[in-house]
Structure 1
Amino acid sequence: MAGAVCVVGGSSSLVECASCNLSGGDLIPLRHSSIGRKHIPPRLDLSTSFLDSSPNRAFFSPPTNLKKKRRKKMSVVGVGGLGGQYEESYEDVKRQIVDYFTYKAVRTVLNQLYEMNPPQYRWFYNYLASNERGYGKTFIRELVKDRLELAERVMVTRLHLYGRWIKKCDHVEMYERISDQNLELMRERLIETVIWPSDDTNNNTNTG
């Protein structure tokens, strides 16, 4: 696992990064005792955090009404005689990439705030917990209205993360990874469907 220092807004935080894979930290809630000493509880289960909540699922799976609108606007062409239909452009992919780097930036900023600014961390954590907009342009637009400094920080961070990703991502490697995975899955399925001769069959053959 490779690491690098991401400096945003005067504070620094380690941003974990591997080839074509930038990972953010888990969400960790803050608690303070009556004498003001900070206690760090066990890791928060991601299944209960905003990372895997309905807003995040909404990001990966657009609402039904949006899907209908996209179908109306979408022009499709057949490719390679494979019987499938594909968009002429990859605007949906580009949009998902931008939204995903917004999501990664949010996680990075949240971890930085946990270390550097606990009050802002608590506010941002609660804000994300009630987020129902996903992590697209609307999310940033609303965050600008609510906390401009945090919105600017997220925007700068996502640009930084994307800049690092395009330097590390090897497109040839990605193509080979997809190809290898396809072959692996087909090989697994082939092995599952092969009917191997049983011991009884072998014994009958030898007896004959």
Structure 2
Amino acid sequence: MNRVVLFAATNLDTDGNTWTDRGKPEKVVAARMTALAKAATAAIRASEDTSAVNGEPRAAHVTGESFFVPQLQDFDFVIHIASKYSHARRKKRHDEPKFKNIEIQQVISQNNSTQLARLFAEDVQSIYGDAILWFWDNEDMSNVAGLWNPAVTAQRTFKVKPGWNSVPVKRKVGERREDKGVDIMVNKEAAYNEMKRLGEELVSEIDINR
């Protein structure tokens, strides 16, 4: 049980841990997914109750698509990938008529472009390790969002190579009187600059929410 935080059973996978073994997704992500599922269920039930009373169609209140629109402001920061390296541009033109061979060539080209974005996302995930929880859509790759892990990046006693860019801070008064040294905390501004420099033209901008 220490390795599995989420069960997703199907008729082909009765154990339900094929994709969730070895601590994937992280416990905090699984908890968030559970909370969102409960909120979505409550919203649908409330909509059905309202529709039953007013005699209105359910679609007037809740649509299935609305549950899958990400709220990017909930993340600590969002890295926006340039449109030519994501599928965002393709979505805007999916209704335009195309010859089949041209469409196939464009899909292959776009897959190669998004591969670069995926490699970038995997690179920053490898660099920052547990300090940041990362989120992205492998199919779209238009945004790479992150949450700073307070359990890892909170103010702490100085140590060599903490695993992230740090900055010294004055220790709070009353804490460990016998030790008059300094603590360190994550240097977020420097980390964002590192991400921007690593991504170069892949990154169009970085939105910092907190």
TM-based fold match above 0.5: no
TM bin, normalised by shorter chain, reads: under 0.3
Q: Per chain length, whose mean CA-contact separation is higher, i.e. which structure has more relative contact order (CA < 8 Å, sep 6+)?
A: 1
Scaled by the length of structure 1, the TM-score of the pair is: 0.26
Structure with larger Rg: 1
